[in-house]
Each structure stands twice: as C-alpha cells, then as structure tokens.
C-alpha cells in the first residue's frame, strides 16, 4: 500500500481518524425523531492530509477502485457515484457554511468494513472533517462535524440517512454508549458496566434491495405518522398503542416497531445505568423480534444467528443491528468472554447455515 509521500511527493501535515459504530439498540428510530444508543467500535478510518495553495483536491483510498488518485476542483462538486462522492459531499457541506479553505491532498486507510452496517461512511466523513478542521484550521465543534457529515451524505451522496452514524463517529467512544435524542440532538454518555463486553458478528449477507427497502420503510413511517396526526412517530406516547394498532397494515406493524423500540432504548439506557444485565438482555431480544415481525427487516438466516447467540452461555443479549436484510448482529457478552463467545456463535451458525461469518468486534485481526 503506497505511503502518502509516494502518492504526493511530500509528507502529510495532518492526521486524523474516526471510529465506526455499532448500534446497541434503537433501530429505524432515528428518522422518526426517536432515540438511539450507538457505541464506537475499535475500528477506525484514518486520513492524512497536506494543504494546497490552489483549489484542487487529490484523494486516494486503499478501499478505492484500483490504485488511482481521484481529482476534483473545489466548487465543482457533483455526484459521480463512487467513493469520492463522500469527500466532495464533505467539502461542499463545509463550504456551504461559509468557511474558507483551499485544496488538499488526501490519503485514506481504514479497518472499518465497508457496507457491513458499521458505518464506514460516517467514519470517513468525520475523519475528513476532523482533518480539515486541523489543517486550515477551522472552528468546528463535534456536533457540527456530525451535522456536516450527515449533510454530505444526504445532499451529494443522495442517501437519506439520519444523524446517528455521524454523531456516534464524532462523539462516541468504545466504553460508553451514546444515548441520543435524534430530534433535539441532546445526548448523554452512558458508561458500559464493567461486567459487559460487546461483540459484533458480521453475517456477510448483503441484500441488493436493502436501500430500496429502507426508503419504503421511511415512507411507511411517514404515512403512519400522518394518519396518527403526529409530526413524527416519536410523538406517539409510549403506552399509547391503541391508535397504532388501528392503522391499516402494514403501517400498524411499522409504527408499533418504532414506538416500542423508542421505549426499549429508554429502558436499555436505564438498565445500563443501573448495571442491570437481567433487564438488558431481554430488551435486545425483544428489539430483534420487533425488527423481525413488525418492521420486517430481518432474514431467516439472521434470525438463526441471533438464536445461535441466545444459546451461548456467555451471551447476555443479541440482535440484528443496522438497517437490516443482512449485515451484523451485536452481542452483549460477559466481560472478558466476548472474543470466545463471538467465535463460538459464528462457528455454530456457519455450521448450521453454511454462511461465512466474520467476527468484527472484538478486533482480533491485525492492523490494516
Ligand atoms: P456503511 O454501513 O459501511 O456506512 P455505506 O453504504 O453507508 O455503508 O457506505 C459505504 C461507502 O462509503 C463505500 O461504498 C464508499 O463509497 C464509502 N467509504 C467508506 N469507507 C471508505 C474508505 N475507507 N475509503 C473510501 N471510501 C469509503
Ligand atoms: Mg453508512
């Protein structure tokens, strides 16, 4: 892999990075104005930067196609449907705030798997914004970095994502979950009790229609909110499921998932704060069942992976994490047991289904 100096003929002047994340609980709640509880993972995207005196951006990523350096001029950002869109989205969003900066040379490396639901896109956006903040330097707080990352992805990339991923990458850390109210952006760091350790098993399953299904679910939630007479499903009182249950199917099921999931995030946050593992585990399994039955974003193979986790003595709770239709399962394990438990669960599931799982957390492979 070429070093920065080999690519650009001079050393970088700034290095910055940002982590991927796993969402502990609170799925498909972010675009409904609700609550989420992500945790940063020990996998990061790193950027190296050197400033330029013109308006040119040159960018290279180890994850990019081939070994080519991509180039564009600031102010001419336009979607090209490749990884450079994330870089252009960031410079466009940053320029729209009125901040002044020149071009730069950029090298990106990462051990956050791309497209596995661990938010490699937000890790890239936040790492780049941190790098640009240090390079020029710019006054930007961490919450604004998260907002700009989301804007980059919404506007130039064209993905209608909520703000959870960018907030987690910008404010999260590995031993604290981030309780986030996605409407107000009020957040609270919730230390993970020392009795637990997280694991993430990647099913390796990717679904060609996942982003189409995501749009359908978003639209269903918006229609449900309109029929219920609320701005967003977040506004339905937690105990008030009678109106939800009278919605025409499948809007009743979709809204029921969101409303009960918001309540589960609040309950899981309280359980974590109390160190009450007896309450935490069932909330994760209930979240999975709700994604499977009401939101219908699971797959039989993913359900089997969660069941394999449930059968493991060192797993306290497990659920599908991320948008669905494949991706990763998050396991809450007894402290010190996560690596072993994840390996056992992955092996049992591979044997049962013939799948090719990868343990992403704890990080056992070497640096990349
Ligand atoms: P994820 O769940 O990993 O965030 P997304 O589809 O949201 O999946 O984002 C993945 C896309 O982000 C990749 O296809 C690529 O365009 C871009 N990306 C993420 N990480 C990198 C990286 N290290 N280098 C280049 N592009 C990246
Ligand atoms: Mg993403």
From the CA of 116, the nearest ligand is: 1
Residue 359's SS3 state is: strand
From the CA of 108, the nearest ligand is: 1
- Does residue 231 sit in the same domain as residue 210? yes
Ligand 1 centroid – CA 275 distance (Å): 34
- Does residue 246 sit in the same domain as residue 296? yes
In a domain, 86, yes or no: yes
Would you state the pLDDT for residue 197? 97
d(CA 71, CA 304): 45
In a domain, 293, yes or no: yes
Ligand 1 centroid – CA 120 distance (Å): 5
**What residues are annotated to the active site?**
165
- Bridge partner residues of 35 (DSSP): 181
Domain end marker among 154, 188, 222:
188
- Does residue 269 sit in the same domain as residue 123? no
d(CA 91, CA 113): 23
- Does residue 112 sit in the same domain as residue 200? no
Say how many C-beta atoms besides its own lie within 10 A of residue 65's C-beta. 9
Query: In the numeric block, which tokens belong to residue 311?
Result: 């059968």
Would you state the pLDDT for residue 65? 83
In a domain, 368, yes or no: no
Among 115, 116, 119, the mutation site with the greatest number of ligand 1 atoms within 8 A of its Cβ is: 115
- Does residue 321 sit in the same domain as residue 253? yes
Would you state the pLDDT for residue 246? 97
- Does residue 292 sit in the same domain as residue 214? yes
Query: In the numeric block, which tokens belong to residue 13?
Result: 């002047």
Would you state the pLDDT for residue 366? 55
Ligand 2 centroid – CA 149 distance (Å): 11
Would you state the pLDDT for residue 328? 97
DSSP 173: B
Atom 20 of ligand 1 has which residue's CA nearest to it?
A: 120
Which DSSP string do the residues of 258-322 spell out, in sequence order?
HHHHHHHHHHHHHHHHHT-HHHHHHHHHHHHHHHHHTS----HHHHHHHHHHHTSTTEEEEEEES
In a domain, 366, yes or no: no
- Does residue 179 sit in the same domain as residue 320? no
| pTM metric for this prediction | 0.94
d(CA 104, CA 58): 6
* 29 burial type by CB count under 10 A (0-12 exposed, 13-18 middle, 19+ buried): buried
From the CA of 63, the nearest ligand is: 1
Instruction: List, chain by chain if needed, residues with CB within 6 Å of any ligand 1 atom.
Output: 45, 61, 63-64, 83, 86, 108, 110, 114-121, 124
- Does residue 23 sit in the same domain as residue 171? yes
- Does residue 157 sit in the same domain as residue 276? no
Atom 26 of ligand 1 has which residue's CA nearest to it?
A: 83
Ligand 1 centroid – CA 252 distance (Å): 33
In a domain, 303, yes or no: yes
Q: Pick the atom of ligand 1 nearest to 323's CA.
A: 2
Residue of 337, 333, 326 whose CA lies nearest to 24: 333
d(CA 87, CA 61): 11
Domain end marker among 188, 223, 251:
188
Which DSSP string do the residues of 197-230 spell out, in sequence order?
EEEEEE-----TTHHHHHHHHHHHHHHHHHHHT-
Domain end marker among 159, 188, 217:
188
Would you state the pLDDT for residue 279? 96
Q: Tally the residues of the chain.
A: 368
In a domain, 198, yes or no: yes
Q: What is the pLDDT along the chain (368 residues), one digit of tens a residue?
A: 999 999 999 999 999 999 999 999 999 999 999 999 999 999 999 999 999 999 999 999 999 887 799 999 999 999 998 999 999 999 999 999 999 999 999 999 999 999 888 999 999 999 999 999 999 999 999 999 999 999 999 999 998 888 999 999 999 999 999 999 999 999 999 999 999 999 999 999 997 777 889 999 999 999 999 999 999 999 998 778 999 999 999 999 999 999 999 999 999 999 999 999 999 999 999 999 999 999 999 999 999 999 999 999 999 999 999 989 999 999 999 999 999 999 999 999 999 999 999 999 999 865 44
In a domain, 204, yes or no: yes
Helix axes 338-353, 300-310, angle to 10 degrees: 140
- Residue 254 dihedral angles phi and psi, to the nearest 5°: -60, -50
- Does residue 115 sit in the same domain as residue 89? yes
Atom 4 of ligand 1 has which residue's CA nearest to it?
A: 119
d(CA 2, CA 24): 36
- The string over 223-245, giving b where at least 16 C-beta atoms fall within 10 Å of a residue's C-beta and e elsewhere, is ebbebbebebbbebeeeebebbe
- Does residue 202 sit in the same domain as residue 173? no
The CATH code of the domain that includes 10 is 3.30.230.10
Write out the residue range of the structural domain in which residue 255 sits.
194-361
- Secondary structure element (H or E) that encloses residue 83, with its range: none
Atom 15 of ligand 1 has which residue's CA nearest to it?
A: 83
Atom 9 of ligand 1 has which residue's CA nearest to it?
A: 121
Which DSSP string do the residues of 10-62 spell out, in sequence order?
S--SEEEEEEEEEESS--S-GGGT-EE-EEEEEEEEEEEEEE-SSSEEEEEET
- Bridge partner residues of 81 (DSSP): none
DSSP 68: P
Q: What is the number of structural domains in the chain?
A: 2
In a domain, 367, yes or no: no
The CATH code of the domain that includes 208 is 3.30.70.890
- Does residue 48 sit in the same domain as residue 62? yes
Would you state the pLDDT for residue 208? 75
How many C-alpha atoms does 200 have within 13 Å on its Cβ side? 28
Ligand 1 centroid – CA 147 distance (Å): 18
């Amino acid at each position: 892999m070429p070093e920065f100096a080999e690519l650009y003929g001079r050393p970088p002047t700034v290095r910055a990075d940002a982590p991927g994340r796993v969402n502990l609980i609170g799925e498909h709640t972010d675009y409904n104005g609700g609550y989420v509880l992500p945790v940063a993972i020990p996998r990061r995207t790193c950027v190296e930067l050197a400033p330029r005196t013109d308006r040119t951006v040159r960018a290279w990523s180890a994850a990019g196609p081939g070994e080519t350096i991509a180039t564009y001029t600031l102010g001419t950002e336009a979607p090209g449907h490749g990884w450079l869109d994330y870089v252009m989205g960031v410079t466009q969003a940053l320029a729209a705030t009125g901040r002044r900066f020149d071009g730069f040379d950029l090298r990106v490396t990462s051990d956050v798997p791309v497209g596995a639901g661990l938010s490699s896109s937000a890790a890239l956006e936040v790492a780049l914004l941190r790098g640009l903040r240090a390079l020029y330097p710019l006054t930007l707080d961490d919450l604004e970095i998260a907002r700009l990352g989301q804007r980059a992805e919404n506007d130039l990339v064209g993905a209608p994502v909520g703000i959870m991923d960018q907030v987690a990458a910008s404010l999260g850390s590995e031993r604290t979950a981030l309780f986030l109210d996605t409407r107000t952006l009020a957040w609270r760091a919730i230390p993970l009790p020392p009795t637990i350790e997280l694991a993430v098993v990647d099913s390796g399953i990717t679904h060609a229609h996942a982003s189409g299904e995501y749009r359908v679910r978003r639209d269903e939630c918006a229609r449900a909110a309109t029929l219920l007479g609320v701005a967003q499903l977040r506004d339905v009182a937690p105990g008030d499921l009678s109106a939800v249950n009278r919605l025409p199917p499948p809007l009743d099921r979709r809204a029921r998932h969101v409303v009960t999931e918001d309540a589960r995030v609040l309950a899981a946050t309280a359980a974590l704060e109390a160190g009450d593992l007896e309450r935490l585990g069932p909330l994760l399994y209930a979240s999975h069942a709700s994604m499977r039955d009401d939101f219908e974003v699971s797959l039989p193979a993913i359900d089997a992976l969660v069941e394999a986790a449930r059968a493991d003595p060192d797993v306290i709770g497990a659920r599908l994490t991320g948008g669905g239709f494949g991706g990763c399962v998050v396991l809450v394990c007894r402290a010190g047991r996560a690596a072993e438990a994840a390996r056992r669960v992955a092996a049992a599931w591979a044997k049962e289904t013939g799948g090719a799982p990868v343990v992403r957390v704890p990080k056992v492979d070497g640096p990349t």
